[in-house]
Structure 1
Amino acid sequence: MFSGSIPALATPFRDGSFDESAFRKLVDWQIENGSSALVPCGTTGEASTLSNAEHHRVIEVCIEQAAGRVPVIAGCGSNDTRNAALHMNFAKKAGAAAGLCVAPYYNRPSQKGLIAHFSYLAETSDLPIVLYNVPSRTVTDIEDETVVELVKKYPEQIVAIKDASGDLSRVADHRMGIGRDFCQLSGNDELWLPHNAAGGRGAISVTANVAPALCAEFQEAINNNELKRARELNDRLFPLHYAMFSDASPAPVKYALSRVHDWFSPSVRLPIVEASEESRRAVDAALEHAGLV
């Protein structure tokens, strides 16, 4: 259902509030530079610090500005199942193509609890679900057997997974358990190339925020089996992948966007603070290496 370079969009703030004008510019720039879909209100979008009203407005603006040019996968995750369902229902009405649903964080549910959580979402909304597994942040890991069980239980509803577990063997495990057509997207930019080589379809990317054209070209090279070109582009992008996490995310990517566009502020919300001097130096060097400044 989804493929290619899909940025997990940063949410711009100005004077502590959602900067709608800058966000609309970001959406246009992403589409014009080859991004194949957009993800508002994910981890990079600081969804955990948005009120529900802000969360829904960010989704709404993204869908309005995209205007059908690319699909929007709305971040709908929560550690409260009922609140996740609320996000799902709003995103469906707003026109999202799918909801990105992270494993509930902090609560540390069992695998049985995860199945109950995602089953509830699948049964209370007809918005397609992209599972999001990022155990380094949520503590809870959506194990392979759980993914297989959920997809087999709801084959029309659970359409993809964003895997940020860092375990490349899972691509083959999911292919063997579900089928080769199941959409798998890398959630780790530095593993984008080997993840796609193993059977992935693209990535929901942090780096694509600041390098959308390069990331789209990189994915195109992979799709065309142009391995030499893909490696060359990967080498250009690789320092940027790590620089994006040289401080608490999304501070580095917001700083990077502020270097590329004067209309994008590096402002973040507490408990995140702006990128440190060391992080900024890493971002500056990576931007220069990639030829973006």
Structure 2
Amino acid sequence: MFTGSIVALITPMDSKGSIDQNSLKKLIDYHVVNGTNAIVAVGTTGEMSGLTNEEHIDVIMRILDMSDGRIPIIAGTGANSTTEAISLTRCFNNTDVIGCLSVTPYYNRPNQEGLFQHFKAIAENTDLPQILYNVPVRTGCDLLPHTVARLSQIKNIIGIKEATGNLNRVSQIRNAVNNDDFILLSGDDITALDFMQLGGKGVVSVTANVAANKMVQICNLASEGKFIDARHVNDCLISLHKALFIETNPIPVKWACKILGLITHDSLRLPMTTLSFSNKKIVQQALIQANLL
């Protein structure tokens, strides 16, 4: 349930910025049909920072209801306040959520001891499996391998989404953790296949929002050790991996979902704005190269 192609699902909104329930259901059905291994609901790609707490919880519960047991759901429950992260996590203690993805506290820039205590406190308030999420470029702090190793000793901290793009982190974390069951997931589509070849077990993917079947193929082939075949599939997605980050995520991927007919509007909430005209051409060309348009 915590390996393979896991989509970092966007949160579709209508032209007024309200949650678009019809598009949300369409997205879930798309991932079920294409074999996506799991959905991360309301993570950073799902614009958690742009939703109220009530909306955050409501969207995850709606995704649970719409998925109806057809695909595992991982709740995004990170926050820069430890108290808030604990509160969000507790909301899903008695639901069908299979686990939580918790990003490092953003803006606060805690030291390594602060990061350890933050995640330890969250884990102590739930029995749900916890996946750490390290993305320094967005948060301003870096969860280092020796801290990951300390956290891995807490029984319900089961893995990490590592989004530095630094492939050296795979061996550094594996050597530090000393636990073969600890799951390493890539959080960087561009380097995800190399990450898996070095021992990672999958990817929490932005690209999977628009290329679900191809991302599943890549992960399945990688899990079978067929890396040459996996690379053939991945090669046609390289331009797309890059184009989906030509502006701040999830701006490009929302526009891509719209032109593919997966959602009705590419609306975002301020301070996020829609994709610029010049970059639309780049994303469109990448979708064509990936045989998606």
CA–CA distance in structure 2, aligned partners of residues 262 and 163 of structure 1: 28
CA–CA distance in structure 2, aligned partners of residues 106 and 262 of structure 1: 33
2:151 corresponds to 1:160: no
SS at match of 2:203: strand
Per-residue deviation at 1:202? Answer: 0.5
CA–CA distance in structure 2, aligned partners of residues 264 and 199 of structure 1: 38
Number of residues of Structure 1 aligned to a counterpart in Structure 2:
291
Q: 1:90-135: per-residue Cα shift (whole Å, max 9, x none)?
A: 1223321111000001111111111111111011111111000000
Q: Which 4+ residue blocks in structure 1 deviate beyond 6 angstroms? A: none
Q: Which residue of 1 aligns with 2:7?
A: 7
Per-residue deviation at 1:292? Answer: 0.4
Contact 2:12 2:263 in 1 (8 A): no
2:149 corresponds to 1:148: yes
Contact 1:171 1:184 in 2 (8 A): yes
Q: How does 1:1-293 map to 2 (within 5 A)?
A: 2-14=2-14, 15-152=16-153, 154=154, 156-178=155-177, 179-261=179-261, 263-293=263-293
Structure 2: unaligned runs, 5 residues or longer: none
CA–CA distance in structure 2, aligned partners of residues 99 and 135 of structure 1: 19
Q: Which amino acid aligns with 1:10?
A: I
Q: Which amino acid aligns with 2:34?
A: N
Per-residue deviation at 1:249? Answer: 1.4
Contact 2:9 2:46 in 1 (8 A): yes
CA–CA distance in structure 2, aligned partners of residues 240 and 264 of structure 1: 21
Q: Which amino acid aligns with 1:144?
A: P
Question: % of aligned pairs identical?
Answer: 41
SS at match of 1:270: coil
Cα distance 1:262–1:185, how it changes in 2: closer, same or farther (>3 A)? closer
Contact 1:129 1:157 in 2 (8 A): yes
CA–CA distance in structure 2, aligned partners of residues 129 and 228 of structure 1: 32
Contact 1:75 1:101 in 2 (8 A): yes
Q: 1:140-174: per-residue Cα shift (whole Å, max 9, x none)?
A: 1111100000111x0x2101100001211111122
Contact 1:59 1:91 in 2 (8 A): no
Per-residue deviation at 1:221? Answer: 1.4
Q: Which amino acid aligns with 1:81?
A: T
CA–CA distance in structure 2, aligned partners of residues 53 and 282 of structure 1: 36
SS at match of 1:13: coil
SS at match of 1:148: helix
Contact 1:248 1:275 in 2 (8 A): no
Contact 2:158 2:181 in 1 (8 A): no
Per-residue deviation at 1:262? Answer: 5.9
Cα distance 1:165–1:263, how it changes in 2: closer, same or farther (>3 A)? closer
Structure 1: unaligned runs, 5 residues or longer: none
Q: 1:184-218: per-residue Cα shift (whole Å, max 9, x none)?
A: 00000001111001100010000000110111011
Q: Which amino acid aligns with 1:42?
A: G
260-269 or 229-238, which deviates more: 260-269
CA–CA distance in structure 2, aligned partners of residues 50 and 128 of structure 1: 24
CA–CA distance in structure 2, aligned partners of residues 264 and 74 of structure 1: 24
Per-residue deviation at 1:2? Answer: 1.0
Contact 1:89 1:127 in 2 (8 A): no
Name the TM-score, length of structure 1 as normaliser.
Answer: 0.97
Q: Which amino acid aligns with 2:270?
A: L
